[in-house]
Amino acid sequence: MSPARTVLVVQHAAWEEPGIIARALDSRGLTWRAVTALDDPNPDLPDVAELDGLVVMGGPMGALDDAAHPGLAAERRLLAEATAAGVPVLGVCLGMQLLAVALGARLHTGRGSEVGMAPVALTGAGLRDPMLYPLTVDATPDPVVLHWHGDAVDAPAGSTVLASSDVTPVQAFRHGSALGLQFHLEVDGPLLARWLAEPVMSGDLSAGAVAQIAADAAARFPSLVPRAHVVFGAFADAILSRRG
């Protein structure tokens, strides 16, 4: 067995933490560390050869906001290199957009606004994907998940679209060892409460909209959160499998 290495978790905002992803990594005994690389044009990111896995989280900025956040360019380079090397990669929301752009896809700024609990439709490939199939175990053809985004991306060339919605045609895609999720499976009740109390997240929402999101999540999370643990457990298992 090769020596243990770190799973790198790149965060862009304190409240956009890995949540259920972190618990899945912990449950498999995987070491991980969180870093923020946004504002340093030459951030101290590890070489791809040192990675067991790579997770890139969401954030309020855009995937090409390099002028305000020069570290994003380094994140995109690392995402492309990790995917090319076969490292298990997971991009969530902004992280998915960074992954897509790193692989040559187009970013659509401000097209695809979705906030709150709403369904996604899994494609045939999504239903067969080893990480996404648990979303349908309750016999719901279009699982209801948490959305919180305004930008959208095309699928990179050579990728497979795994999920879509009427507003956002690419809700999830796979490209080799990399999985991109536009929606937020990592969020549970306590983390959502933190989001709803964070002005950057909820400042543009009415009190009624905040209450509706909280109520919808309370109804859905008892089923969704256990399935999210299975999804991210499969990601952790992919890391262990590659390690050998």
Closest CA to 63 of 29, 17, 12: 12
Instruction: Report the pLDDT value the prediction gives residue 138, as an integer from 0 to 100.
Output: 59
Say if 180 falls within a structural domain.
Answer: yes
Convert the pLDDT of each residue in 148-168 to its tens digit. Answer: 999 999 999 999 999 999 999
Instruction: Report the pLDDT value the prediction gives residue 12, as an integer from 0 to 100.
Output: 96
Cβ atoms of 73 and 66 within 8 Å: the answer is yes
With a pLDDT cut of 70, the percent of the chain lying above it is 96
Say if 78 falls within a structural domain.
Answer: yes
pTM over cut 0.85 = yes
Cβ atoms of 116 and 126 within 8 Å: the answer is no
Full residue range of the structural domain in which residue 92 is found: 6-243
Q: Once rounded to an integer, what is the mean pLDDT over residues 120-139?
A: 87
Q: pLDDT class for 140, splitting at 50, 70, 90? A: low
Contacts of 151 (CB under 8 A, 6+ apart): 62, 63, 97, 107, 108, 109, 110, 111, 112
Q: Is 4 a residue whose pLDDT tops 90?
A: no
Q: Once rounded to an integer, what is the mean pLDDT over residues 171-179?
A: 98
Q: Tell me the sheet residues that pair with 164.
A: 121
The answer to whether 108 is a known catalytic residue is no
Catalytic residue, from 69, 175, 184, 229: name it. 184
Q: Is 1 a residue whose pLDDT tops 90?
A: no
Say if 1 falls within a structural domain.
Answer: no
Say if 132 falls within a structural domain.
Answer: yes
Position 165, amino acid: S
Q: How far is CA 117 from CA 97, 102, 189, in A?
A: 20, 28, 13
Catalytic residue, from 114, 149, 186, 229: name it. 186
Instruction: Report the pLDDT value the prediction gives residue 136, as an integer from 0 to 100.
Output: 81
Say if 42 falls within a structural domain.
Answer: yes
Q: What is the CATH number of the domain that holds 38?
A: 3.40.50.880
Q: Is 112 a residue whose pLDDT tops 90?
A: no
The answer to whether 186 is a known catalytic residue is yes
Catalytic residue, from 12, 16, 75, 93: name it. 93
Calculate the CA 188 to chain-centre distance: 14
Which range is most confident: 128-132, 139-143, 200-204, 229-233? 229-233
Calculate the average pLDDT of the chain.
Answer: 93
Q: Once rounded to an integer, what is the mean pLDDT over residues 158-186?
A: 97
Convert the pLDDT of each residue in 17-74 to its tens digit. Answer: 999 999 999 999 999 999 998 888 888 899 999 999 999 999 999 999 999 999 999 9
H, E, C per residue of 77-118: HHHHHHHHCCCCEEEECHHHHHHHHHCCCCEECCCCCEEEEE
Say if 98 falls within a structural domain.
Answer: yes
Q: How many helices (H) and strands (E) does the chain have?
A: 7, 12
Look at the chain and report how many structural domains it folds into: 1
Rounded distance between C-alpha atoms, residue 203 and residue 196, angstroms: 9
The answer to whether 93 is a known catalytic residue is yes
